[in-house]
Structure 1
Amino acid sequence: MTNFDRITVDPTVMSGQPCIRGMRLTVRRVLEALATYSDRNELAQEYPELEDQDIKQALEYAAASLDDRVLELN
């Protein structure tokens, strides 16, 4: 499992939603931005504080948060 050292959860910041490095930038917002800005240069202009490792960990965190189970059909 990945060590999410760039993802922080603080009940006093953004109502406890997972954020990037304690900023008021949620993992969800990063994912939405990735979907909106297909060009990384545009993304960097809109969110200059966002680093490549932040994006990578936001994607990994989202993937780890999803339940991926295989169900047997009888």
Structure 2
Amino acid sequence: MSHERIEVSPRIMDGKPVVRGTRIPVELVLRKLGAGMSPEAILADHPRLTRDDIQAAQAFAADYLADEDIVYG
């Protein structure tokens, strides 16, 4: 899975996925969306982000979860 707008580096935020060129974790973007914030509100809070960055964070999370093993118990 290749995500040009998402970066994972042990030197940035202890290796958490972030929006490339920022220290804004994908997790933060997803939590804000999950809490009901609109993309416009997130962009107002984080002016370095773009709408494409928010969509990239969502796509990254979806791809990450798609590769998870399913455990039936």
Give the TM-score category using the shorter length.
0.7 to 0.9
Q: TM-score, normalised by structure 2?
A: 0.78
Letter of the 2:64 partner, please give it.
S
Q: Deviations over 1:9-43 (max 9, x none)?
A: 11111001111013110110110121235333322
Greater CA radius of gyration, 1 or 2?
1
RMSD: 1.9
* Secondary structure in structure 2 of the residue aligned to 1:24: coil
CA distance in 1, matches of 2:69, 2:52: 24
The residue aligned with 2:57 is 58
Percent identity at matched positions? 35
Evaluate the alpha carbon distance shift between residue 4 and residue 33 of structure 1 in structure 2; reply closer, same or farther with a 3 A threshold: same
| Runs of 5+ unmatched residues, structure 1 | none
Letter of the 2:37 partner, please give it.
S
* Secondary structure in structure 1 of the residue aligned to 2:24: coil
Are 1:24 and 2:23 counterparts? yes
Letter of the 1:48 partner, please give it.
P
The residue aligned with 1:8 is 7
CA distance in 1, matches of 2:46, 2:8: 20
Letter of the 1:32 partner, please give it.
R
The residue aligned with 2:44 is 45
State the aligned residue count.
Answer: 69
> Could you tell me whether the CA contact under 8 Å between 2:39 and 2:54 is conserved in 1?
no
Could you list the structure 1 runs, at least 4 aligned residues long, displaced by more than 6 angstroms after superposition.
Answer: none
